[in-house]
A and B are shown apart, each in its own frame.
Chain A
Amino acid sequence: MPRQTIVIDPVTRIEGHSKISLHLDEEGHVEEAYFHVTQFRGFEKFCEGRPYYEMPSLMARICGICPVSHLIASAKACDAILAVRIPENAVRLRKVLNLAQILQSHALSFFYLSVPDLLLGMDSDPAARNVFGVMEANPAMAKDGVRLRQFGQQIIEWLAGKRIHPAWVVPGGVSSPLTAENRDRILAGIPEALANATRALDWFKNEMEGFREEIRSFANFPTLFMGLVGEDGGLEHYSGKLRFLDAGGHVVADYADTTYPDYLAEIAHPWSYLKTSFYKPLGYPDGVYRVGPLARLNIIDGISTPRASQEWAEFRELDRGAVLSSFYYHYARLIEMVYALEKIEQLLREPDALDANVRAHASVNNTEGIGVSEAPRGTLMHHYKVDGDGLITWANLIIATGHNNAAMNRGVLQVARHFVHGNKLTEGMLNRVEAVIRTFDPCLSCSTHADGRLALEVELRSHEGELLDVCHTR
């Protein structure tokens, strides 16, 4: 048979626009795969000349799915420019906001984007394989998902005044304390949300048996893993040290998060607006690593909340070293939803949660600042330089999806080789190629800090590695 190119355009049910093209050799085997992001917006440049205190609100516009993550990383970079230690309760409230963000974003990824595959089937009718199809097939489950996302968004609104792009997180802390009324509303909602989240987790664990092929082939290979851990090595999303772990489960190194330029570098590709980050001491591609829920549950030594801690112990039984299959990103995401709810409750029951001292005031004391936090999809870094008047002169952002870029590319190739064979192409096979991307939950708005559409290209190479053909996805 002649060589073929298969183009999947756009990749659907991910947070961004994308294409996948697969190049097949004469025997119909997939030879090579690339994952292209086709959007670019230029935040790193066009923030130049703006005052530093505008940065959180401006940078939040990188992404409407996880604006809070950008607010927090950006505000932390600005805290460093002010050289202030922000009040304890400001840290607490920022943590609650970040956990609420993780909850709502995970609910979006799982229930709205991936449950259609998991519940209705990878091979089911594409016309109904979406959240509206889930609403018909299993209204109770759809409702759990809607309610969980809603609760996360509501916590954000109660704390910060607005669900999307609130202006409440500011350099030096947050702009207003939490009211007793809103604290009680959040606490009152926790039991129902926890019930919803654990129901989904139990359901997923039951269903895993039916996805053996996907578990085996969805980006299931050794890589490093990276993420923040607390000073005690526990699960942590707001601040701590950056840990690298190898595939065997051994800690490679712990670093101060503000020294990332010493150990991380980025490579640009001619075929994508998405750059790839790698671990400098190992170089590229050996220094490829993954971030996000799967990485976080791999790198930590423990979890500080009871239910999530139990679930984590069970999760770690899946593999002897690190848990390697990206299919388990879903699993890790569900455990993190349970954790987020338990942790929000813990934080808000602390006696000082209503403390009115939530903001430190200062002017520019440093000309450079780095802010790092864990976004739903992984580690997020904002790095700014300012002049003496506090106007931005330079910015660099490293976003979760950039850390995962290499693993996503290799994952697409692995799953395509496993499921796609040229002589009998089915829609369900191609859907699995997209589904592996969905496990990473890439955020393409974020990842290109620009117009971020995702596209994937497959190049056809001979066995000697000679480039025979490149797919131009248009």
Chain B
Amino acid sequence: MTGVPDQPKSKVRLATVWLDGCSGCHMSLLDTDERLVALAQHVSVVWGPLVDAKVFPENVDVTLVEGAVSSEEDLHRIRQVRARTKILVTLGDCAITGNVSAMRNNFGANAVLKRAYLENATLDAQIPRQVIPPLLAMVRPVHEFVPVDVFVPGCPPSADLIFSVLSELLAGKMPNLAAKFG
């Protein structure tokens, strides 16, 4: 297990956040397969789709963010995450550039809603507006709203890349992705 410390003093507090993405970046993290079991000995996953926490906790060491900022809820979430996280990592192209998630910007939020709910619904055609968070006018990458410490590109980034970045962070080093991408 390259880079994973043998005897950590206390477990690193890791969170994973899913904004406007397809979950592929999370799946690539799971594609570390049995290495995930080894990682779990050194980290405690305190928030994310795999665990049951309901409130984003304080004092998170590392947060991986998948997806772009698309709705008011995403915006609220990413600001809260930034305030409570030491090292913020954007995982994948949607978080870094907007990628596929930002393709709706060519049309605008209203046009995409109209297509799905007015034109492609046969009964009670209406744009949902109750309870659910409104969409922002434009989908934007995470770094346009909050400072980001590490960028891990790919659609999705490979499991090997994610594992090497996590291993370095767990060892207390800042990964140098420029070295990996030349």
Contacts and interface: CB of A to CB of B under 8 A. Distances in A.
Given A15-B23, A164-B27, A38 B132 contact: yes
B53 A453 contact: no
B54 to A, nearest CB: 6
Contact of A268 (B49, B109, B121): B121
Nearest to A443: B23
Chain B: interface size category: 35 or more
Interface string B3-44: 000000000000000111111111110110110110010000
B73 A269 contact: no
Interface string B46-88: 0001111110000000000001001101100000000000000
Contacts of B34: 143, 146-147, 150
B116 A45 contact: yes
A197 interface: no
Contacts of B123: 265-268, 278, 284
B107 interface: yes
A82 B58 CA distance: 55
A265 B122 contact: yes
A374 interface: no
Nearest to A116: B52
Interface stretch (A130-138, A289-297, A317-325): A130-138
A249 interface: no
B106 interface: yes
B178 interface: no
B23 A457 contact: no
Given A150-B33, A164-B24, A164-B27, A36 B132 contact: yes
Given A15-B23, A42-B113, A267 B124 contact: yes
Interface stretch (A55-63, A205-213, A219-227, A357-365): A55-63
Contacts, number: 209
Interface in B90-131: 99-101, 103-104, 106-107, 109, 111-117, 120-131
B133 interface: yes
A278 B104 CA distance: 28
A45 B23 CA distance: 21
B150 interface: no
Given A65-B23, A135-B37, A8 B54 contact: yes
A36 B132 CA distance: 7
Given A12-B51, A135-B37, 17 more contacts: A8-B54, A17-B18, A36-B132, A39-B71, A40-B70, A40-B113, A41-B20, A45-B114, A45-B116, A62-B22, A130-B52, A150-B31, A266-B123, A275-B116, A275-B121, A431-B52, A445-B23
Interface of B: 18-28, 30-31, 33-34, 36-37, 40, 45, 49-54, 67, 70-71, 73-74, 99-101, 103-104, 106-107, 109, 111-117, 120-133, 135, 155-156, 159
Interface of A: 8-10, 12-17, 34, 36-42, 44-46, 48, 58, 61-65, 67, 108, 112-113, 126-127, 129-132, 135, 139, 142-143, 146-147, 149-150, 153, 163-165, 265-273, 275, 278, 284, 396, 431, 445, 449-451, 453, 455, 457, 470-474
